[in-house]
Amino acid sequence: MTMTPLCLFPLKEETVFMGVVIGVGATIIFFPLLLRFPPILRKLRTLHTTPLSDVPGCPEHYDEAFTSALFTLPDPNNYLSVYSYLPLDEGIRFRHPRMPVCRYFSLSLYAGLFDPVQDQVPPSLCDMDLVYNLDGSFDVAICDEEERPADISPANWLPRHGVRDALLVVRRYGTLPGQRLDMPSFHSMGPGTPKELKPAHHSFSGPHYAEKAPSHRFQRLLRLLAYLGAVACALLLAGRWSAAEITAMLLVAGAMPAILLRLLYARGRRKAKRVLSDRAYKVNEFTDPPEARVYDADSPKAHPNHKYYSCPFDARQGDLLIIGRIFPGKQRMWTFVVYDECGLPQYQHFTDETLRTSPGAKSHLPGARRRREGTEEPRALDAGREQAGLAYRLVLTTDMRRHSGREENVVDVSRIPQGLVLLRLIYPETREVFERSKPSVTVLCTEDARGHRKQA
């Protein structure tokens, strides 16, 4: 009599074994990103044609638990796409069909997760540096200097610095929600006919800023329940296991993605605590820490032209009043984002377009307009106003009732009274602009907060 592998197990072990087998499928259904990691699956093109974003709310964002565990501190204003497992043995030609419709666009090359070359400042190009073709498209060569094709300008060259298995990160700051973006194409630069590495010109919608954006985790939970239900029906029809055994299998299977979800969030919390416990930080005070202290050691490094002020905040003792100045036209973009204890961004955030400045100033700041094809450049401010900047006041509060009916910059932190604030200056013109943009924080007791509301 021939025995199946499952018959080799006693009843209890067989039940657990079947639960683990079912749980592997359940975990992959809940975390599709896991399909991109096994080496045996890297060559399956269908698994790698969709862009990845770490910004919750984007149509292609992966699960928030991975964003927390990686501690990338994503900016909701940045539509970030990651193209992984790019083989650079022969170099790659990257072609984009047109200039992205956004305020700031850049390309950065990182070593892959399994590449031995790590901990280097990523070579980067931005939209101001690139040379464009007559039709608005542009080509970038990712290779060693001697391999750069003659028809590609040196300004459009990304050195690989010994990296063989690369990640190409495409940042698009200030992309409007619903804006359709063009996908680039990748071709090898080896001898013979160039080989297409990924499909070109796929389109997808831009990020969502609404607080009630559809939750991918909820959608995956529904798929997970449907999968477990189908498995339960199949086991019942097989007639091999009892209802109690099938229940035990499904409990084991459902526990696997739940445990992994908890571990990923726990990793994000540990990273946040480790970073915030650094002596370079002070609670309720903005600091310009070294890059290694903004990002954890094993997280992706920051873009070299992105500057940060970080502030661990604690609003349990009262509202936090943040006062600072912004210098229109002196940086490509200015963003203010609040993060929770897991490193996830809150949907309520500000940019230099939405921030209300000193009384009488418009919420849309001069010099911060979105660049559009066929539109003229924003007019420059007068010299005196450029030097002084525009003042702003921003409040982190645990009680929105104290600020109801007022047109001011208020962030509700009632759900996260402790967290991290990142003030980003994308491509500031000078170091002086960055230093003068540093804000101050004042803790307001309840009476002070009410007085602030009356003064506003």
For the chain, what percent of residues have pLDDT higher than 90?
Answer: 20
Band of residue 448 on the pLDDT scale cut at 50, 70, 90: low
Give the DSSP per-residue string, 410-430: EEE-SS-SEEEEEEEEES-SS
For residues 197 and 187, what is the distance between their CA atoms, to the nearest angstrom? 5
Classified by CATH at the fold level, domain 77-204 comes out as Jelly Rolls (2.60.120)
Mean pLDDT of 176-187: 78
Cα separation, 397 vs 411, in Å, equals 6
Tell me the two tokens of residue 121: 């400042």
DSSP 324: E
pLDDT of residue 99: 82
User: What pLDDT does residue 367 have?
Assistant: 38
DSSP 8-state secondary structure symbol assigned to residue 60: T
Mean pLDDT for 323-349 is: 90
Average pLDDT over residues 23-35: 90
Nearest to 174 by CA among 395, 408, 331: 331
Q: Evaluate if residue 93 carries a pLDDT over 60.
A: yes
Fold of 291-368+386-455: Jelly Rolls (2.60.120)
- Minimum mean pLDDT range among 171-185, 258-272, 352-366: 352-366
| Residue % of the chain over a pLDDT of 70 | 76
Domain coordinates of the chain in residue numbers? 77-204, 291-368+386-455
Each residue of 274-311: pLDDT tens digit? Answer: 877 776 778 888 988 665 445 544 445 566 778 889 89
Collapsing DSSP to helix, strand or coil, 61 comes out as strand
Beta strands (DSSP E) in 88-174 are 92-96, 104-111, 124-126, 138-143, 157-159, 165-173
Structure tokens at 42: 């890297």
Reference 340, options 424, 268, 435, 237; nearest CA is 268
The answer for 71, left when phi > 0, alpha when psi is -120 to 50, beta otherwise, is left
Q: What are phi and psi of 425, to 5 degrees?
A: -115, 110
What is the reported pTM? 0.80
Distance CA 443, CA 313 (A): 10
> In the predicted model, is pLDDT for residue 371 greater than 70?
no
**Quick check: do 77-204 and 291-368+386-455 share a fold?**
yes
Q: Name the helix (H) or strand (E) containing 65.
A: helix 64-70
Nearest-angstrom CA–CA distance, 296 and 447: 39
**pLDDT value, residue 366:** 38
84 Cβ neighbours under 8 A, 6+ residues apart: 36, 48, 52, 112, 167
DSSP string, 273-290: HHHHTSTT-BTTB-B---
Count of residues in the chain = 456
When pLDDT is cut at 50, 70 and 90, the band that residue 377 belongs to is: very low
